[in-house]
Chains A and B, each alone.
Chain A
Amino acid sequence: MVCFKQVVKKGFLLMAALLLTVGTVACSSAPESSQGDSGSTTNSAAQPAAAPAANAGDETPKSGGILKLARAQDLSNLDPIVPGDNMTIWALLLMYDQLVRVTADGNDVEPALATDWTISEDKKTYVFNLRKDVKFHDGSVMTAADVKFSLDRARDEGSSWSWIYTGIESVEVSGDNQVTIKTKTPYAPLLSSLALFSSSIVSEKAVKDQGKDFLSDKEFGTGPFKLANWQRGQKVELAKNPDYWQAGKPYLDGVELVQVPEDTTRLFQLRAGDIDIASNVPFNAMAELQADPALTVMTPQVSRVDVININHTHEPFNDVKIRQAINYAVDKDLIIKTVLMGNGEMATSYLPKMKYFNDQLEGYKYDLEKAKKLMAESSKPQGFKTKLLIASGDETDRQIAVIVKDQLAALGIDVEIQMMESGAAYEAVNQMNYDLATTYFSTDIIDPDELTSFEVVSTGGTDAYHTGYKNPKVDELAEKARAELDEAKRKEMYLEIQKLVSEDATFLFLYYKPATYAVQNYVKGFHVLSTGNYRLEEVWLNK
C-alpha cells in the first residue's frame, strides 16, 4: 500500500512536470511575437481591400516564384459548365477567361475577352467586339466561333448552369472578331451572367476533337495559368501562361493549390513557412496569427449571408408572427461575438452585401420584449416544440444551435437539435423534411437576380430555397426587375423586394461573415473579390 502511494505521488509529480513543459511549448509563441503590429491588421472588413502589408502598391512587382496556397478541399469536375463548389470555381477562374469580368470592387463588370460592347435600342441585342490575338493554352488563336461554341455549350442541356442563360435567345458570330447575343426579352442580368465561370471560353476544336469528357480533368482556356499537374486529394499545380493577353502578367511562374483539410495543419504549415497563403483561417486562431509579425491576416468581405432556413409548410411557421418572434428572440450580436469572435455583422436582408443591397433595413435586432409580444399574438402563444437541423462535424453550426435553442426557450419554444451528416442534412432540406436548418447563401454573380430567384421567388425552382415561402408581390417584382435595364429603377425594385422579405421574416437572419486568409508578408497584391475568388495573376512574391 505504501508502495502504491509512492507510485501515485511520484507519478503525479512527473505528470505535473510534463504538463508544465508541454504548456510552455504550447503558449510561448504569444509573448515572443507580441511586438508585432497586431493593431494595424484588425478587421476593418467593410472594404474588400486587402490589409495594407499585403497590398503596398508603390513597389515594382518582381517576376518569378511559385505561390503555395492551402485550401481545405480538392477540386471536383474541371469542366466550366459543371461544378458547383467554390474550390473548383475559383481555380477555373485562374485558367479560363470570360467575355467580361467582375470589377475589383465587385459592383460592376469590365472588359475581359471582349474589349467593348453595344446594346441595341430595344435592349435585346448585345454586340461584343473581341480582343484580338488571344491564344488558348496550346497556342491556337481564340476566334468568335469559339465564343459562340462555349456559350452555346453553357446554355445546352448538358450544362449544370444552363438555367442561368434562359434569357438568351441566340449567340451568333457577326464578324471576324464580333459576337452578337440576342435576348428573348430585355434581360438585365446578362452581363453578370457572362462574367460567370460557366461562361468561360473554351476551344471549340479541342472539345470537338477530344470528346465530351475531355474537359472534366483537363483544361483548355486562355487564362493566366495553365493546368500543369493535378494530384487528386493533394494538390493542383498551375503553370504561368506566357502568352496571356494582359502583357507582363502573371508575375508568378506558377501556383500550387495544396489541399490541407485540417485547419490546425494549415496554420502550422503557414507558420513553418511551408505555404504562402492559408485560406479558411478559423476565427479562434486569428489573434494568434495576428501576433506573428511575418504574417498578415485578412478578412475580406464576400457575398455571403448565413441564415436559419424556416420551413413555412410546417406549422406553426406559416404564421409570420412566429417567424418575426424567433427573429427578434435570437441575439445575433451575441452569436457574432461568441461564435465568430467578433468577425461579422448582423444580417438584415436575404441578400449579402452586394450590388443593390438595401442598407436602410433595420433587421431584427435582439428584442425579447417585442418577441414575447409577437408570440402572444401568434397562433401558438404557449410555445411549441420544433427541431433545428445542423450538419454534424460543423463546429460553428453546433455553437449557433446551442445559442438558438437557449434563446428560443425564453419564448416557450422547445428546440431539439438534430444533427445529421452534411450530405444527409442537405438532402433533408431539399426534400423539405425539416423545421429549422442552418444554411448560407453565397453567389458568384454580382447581380442580385440569381440569389433572389434562388432564395425568395416561389417559382424560382427551389420553392424559395425549400422554405415554401410565397409572396406574389415579391415574385412579380423580381420578374419586373429582371427585365428592367434602367439601373436606378432596378435598384428601387430590389430595395423593395428586400424590404418585403425582411417584413415577412422569410428566414431567421443571422450574419454576414467575411472570408479569412492568412498571408505571408512577402506575398504582394493578393486580393479577394466579393465573389470569393482571387486573381493570382496580380500576385508577386517579394522575397
Chain B
Amino acid sequence: MEILRVHFILQRLIQLIPVVFGISIVSFLIIHLIPGDPASIMLGSRATPENVQQLTAQMGLDKPLYDQYLIFLQNLVQGDLGKSILLKQSVNTLISERLGTTFFLVMYASVLSLLVSIPIALWSAMKKDSLLDNGFRTLSIFGLAMPSFWIGILLMLLFSIKIKLFPVSGYGKNFIGHLYYLFLPALTITCSLAPVLVRPLRSKIINVFSSEYIEAARARGLKEHQIILNHVLRNAISGTVTILGVNIGWLLGGSIVIETIFSVPGLGQLLINSILSRDYPIIQGLVLVFAILVIVVNLLTDLCYAWLDPRVDLE
C-alpha cells in the first residue's frame, strides 16, 4: 500500500512536467501578444524612440521571441524564474516573499469555510425542509450571487468603520497578527465558498442519514453524536474535500480581487501590478506558480480523499 502510494505520487509529479512545459509556452506567447511594451510604459510619455530602443535592448526584449523563450526555459530548468524588469529583483524572491501570504489567506479561508459549512449543512440536513433549512438555502444563493468585492466592501464598512473590530487592510507581523488582519478577507472568501460546500454536503448527509448502516448503528445503541461524528460526517465529507480541492485552485486566482480590495501583499497584488507594467518575467513566473499550485493541490486532494475513504484505490 505504501509503495503504491509513493508510486502514485511520483507518477503524478512526473505528469507535472509536460503540463508545466505546455503552460509556459502558452503563457509566454499570450503575454507577448498583448500590445504595449514595458520599455515605453516605464519611460513615460516623454521618452524618445532612442531611449525606448536602448531600454528594450537592455532588458533583452529586442531578441526574437523563440530566443527569449529558450533563455527563459534554460533558466527555468535551473529553477530560476528570471529577474523582474521593473523591480530589478529576482522573480523567485518576489514570489516566495508573497507566496506565504496568499497561501495563508487561502488556507485560512478554507478552514473558515469548513468550520462554517459543516455545522450549517448538518443542521439543515437534520431539520430538512424546515424554515431554518430554507433560510440557509436562500442565504447561500445570496452568497453565491454577490460578487466578492462587494461583500468585501460591505464587511469593511461594517467591521472596520462602524464597529472598529478589524483592520481595513494589512497583513500583521506574526501568526496571531495574520489571523487578526486576514480575518475579513478570509470571511469574504468564506461568504462565496461556504455556499458551494454546504449544498452538496447537506444532500450527502441526508443521504447518509437514511442509509441502513446508520439505522444499524442506532440499533446498536450508539449515541447520536457518535453516529454523527464517526458515521455520518466521515461518509459525507469526502465529497466536500474534492469540491474544496477544486475550489482552492480557483481561490488562488480569486485572491487577486480580494488582495486588491484589502491591500494584502500577496501574489494577486503582485500579478496585477506586473500586468499593468508589463513585467513579463513576473507574470510568466506567477502563471507557472499558480499552475503548479493547482496541480499540487489536486494531488493533495486525491491523497486526502483516499485517506478519508479507505475504499478509494489510488491506482
Contact = CB atoms under 8 A, between A and B. Distances in A.
Interface of A: 3, 6-7, 10-11, 14-15, 18, 22, 25-26, 28-29, 74, 76-77, 83-85, 160-161, 163, 213, 216-217, 231-234, 259-262, 264-265, 268-269, 271-274, 420-424, 426-428, 430, 454, 461-462
Contacts of B153: 264, 268
A422 B43 CA distance: 14
B269 interface: yes
A231 B94 CA distance: 11
A233 B44 contact: no
Contacts of A77: 42
B88 A272 contact: no
B156 interface: yes
Interface in B239-294: 260-263, 265, 269-270, 272-273, 276, 278
B3 interface: no
Interface in B169-217: 169-170
Interface string B113-154: 000000000000000010100110111011000000000011
Main secondary structure of the interface of B (DSSP, over half): helix
12 contacts: A3-B129, A7-B138, A11-B135, A77-B42, A160-B47, A232-B89, A260-B263, A268-B169, A272-B167, A422-B276, A424-B36, A454-B46
Contacts of B167: 272, 274
A388 B99 CA distance: 41
A76 B46 contact: no
B46 A265 contact: no
A25 B151 CA distance: 12
A232 B169 contact: no
B19 interface: no
A290 to B, nearest CB: 16
A3 B51 CA distance: 71
B47 to A, nearest CB: 7
A269 B47 contact: no
A10 B131 contact: yes
B138 A423 contact: no
Q: Which of B37, B45, B156 has the most CB of A within 10 A?
A: B45
Contacts of B51: 160
B88 A10 contact: no
B157 interface: yes
- For the complex of A and B, 3 pairs with smallest distance between CB atoms: A84-B44, A423-B36, A11-B138
Given A11-B137, A26-B157, A233-B273, A265 B263 contact: yes
Contacts of A85: 44
Contacts, number: 134
A25 B154 contact: yes
B270 A15 contact: no
A342 to B, nearest CB: 25
Contacts of A29: 157, 161-162
B160 interface: yes
A83 B41 CA distance: 11
Interface string B45-84: 1111001000000000000000000000000000000000
B266 to A, nearest CB: 10
A209 B163 CA distance: 54
A10 B161 contact: no
B168 A216 contact: no
Contacts of A260: 169, 263
Nearest to A439: B45
Nearest to A393: B276
A126 to B, nearest CB: 25
B40 A427 contact: yes
B111 interface: no
A452 B133 CA distance: 70
Contact of B142 (A15, A161, A231): A15
Given A29-B162, A261-B269, A274-B169, 5 more contacts: A3-B129, A22-B154, A232-B94, A421-B36, A424-B35
A232 B87 contact: yes
B218 interface: no
A273 B34 CA distance: 40
Contacts of A430: 40
B5 interface: no
B17 interface: no
B107 interface: no
Contacts of A259: 263
